Every structure is written in C-alpha cells, then in structure tokens.
Amino acid sequence: MNLKDLAVISGFPGVQHIVATRNNGVMAKDIDTGKVRFAPARKHQISPLESISVFTADSDAVELGKVFQTMLDKLEELPLPSVKASSDELRKYFLEVLPNHDQSLVHISDIKKIIRWFLFLNERGFLTAPDPDDNAGESESPEAEE
C-alpha cells in the first residue's frame, strides 16, 4: 500500500495527490477531477497520509498505512460502519481493527476521518491487497509510477 504523494489538505475535498512541492506550498491534483491547484502553506494545513499515525497504549504510534492494511484485510469479516454510526459502534469497530489504540487520545472524530479516507481511497483503487509476488503491492495503484 502506497500512501506516498497522498495528502489531506484543509479546504480541499477528500484526499489529494501531491504532484509538486514548492517552498511556499504544494501543487495538488484532485483525484476525481484531475484538476491541479496550488495550496499555499500559509493558508492550508497539508497533512501527508504517510506521516499520519494512530496513538497506541503500548507504543508510540501505528502508521496509517498499517491501519488501512488491517482494515482492508478484515473488510470481509468486519464491515465498515457508517461514519454516522453511534460513537459506541465506531469505537467497537476500531477496537477490532487496532485493539491497542489509546482511547483517550484517539477521538471518535479521528476514527470517522480514518474511515472516510479509507472509503475514499478504497473506492478509487488506491488500497489494494498486497500481491504475494510484489513486496510493496504498489503496482496496482492507479497513480503508481515505475
């Protein structure tokens, strides 16, 4: 699973593909429309997905890519709850995905964001099960470059 060059940018819908960086911001391509826009760092908060982690009780944190992989692996036996589900249902789901997450630091709003991002990327083919012949499993991503 390759989250490289994917970011969440405040004021932009969904997850964006970073096509270029500048010293004062990034050029971001909308995954759905292909439209490229400049996101100045002074106006927007830019959060690369590969740098996002989830706090755990027994260690520092777990990378978002590993959380997404667990969600993908358990998708058949553990269906995703709606982001409008009750807080108890969302917490119960996330306890199945990441049993050791720090419940005092990982809020329900964080769980909703993770589910939204997962749905967004999975529907667009960015999250694929790793191919046993391919170590990184990145060749199936629509944005993979070789």
Q: What are 14-43's pLDDT values in tens digits?
A: 999 999 999 999 999 999 999 999 999 999
Least-confidence region, from 1-5, 129-133, 138-142: 138-142
Residue 80 has pLDDT above 70, yes or no: yes
Q: Is the pLDDT of residue 144 over 60?
A: no
Res 127 pLDDT > 90: no
Helices (H), the chain: 64-73, 87-97, 108-123
pTM for the predicted model, two decimal places: 0.83
Instruction: Tell whether 56 and 119 lie within a shared domain.
Output: yes
How large a percentage of the chain has pLDDT more than 90? 80
The tokens of 104 are what?
Answer: 């005092």
- Biggest alpha carbon distance in the chain? 45
* CATH number of the domain residue 68 falls in: 1.10.10.1650
Are both 23 and 64 inside the same structural domain?
no
Distance CA 143, CA 5 (A): 9
94 assigned to some structural domain:
yes
Coil vs helix vs strand at 6: strand
Say if residue 68 is in the same domain as residue 113: yes
Say whether both 33 and 21 belong to one domain. Answer: yes
| 117-125 own/partner pairs: CB under 8 Å, 24+ apart | 117/8, 117/15, 117/49, 117/64, 117/68, 118/68, 118/71, 118/72, 118/80, 119/80, 120/14, 120/15, 120/31, 121/6, 121/15, 121/68, 122/72, 124/31, 124/32
Owning domain of residue 25: 6-49
Does one domain contain both 37 and 73?
no
Q: For residue 114, is it within any domain?
A: yes
Same domain, 90 and 57: yes
Please check whether residue 56 lies inside any domain of the structure: yes
Whether residue 72 is found in the same domain as residue 85: yes
**Which residues are within 8 A (CB) of 4 and not within 5 positions of it... i.e. 6 or more apart?**
50
With respect to residue 134, please indicate whether it lies within any of the assigned structural domains.
no
Answer for the pair 41, 18: CB distance below 8 angstroms, yes or no.
no
Say what the pLDDT of residue 2 is: 82
Residue 20 shares a structural domain with residue 45: yes
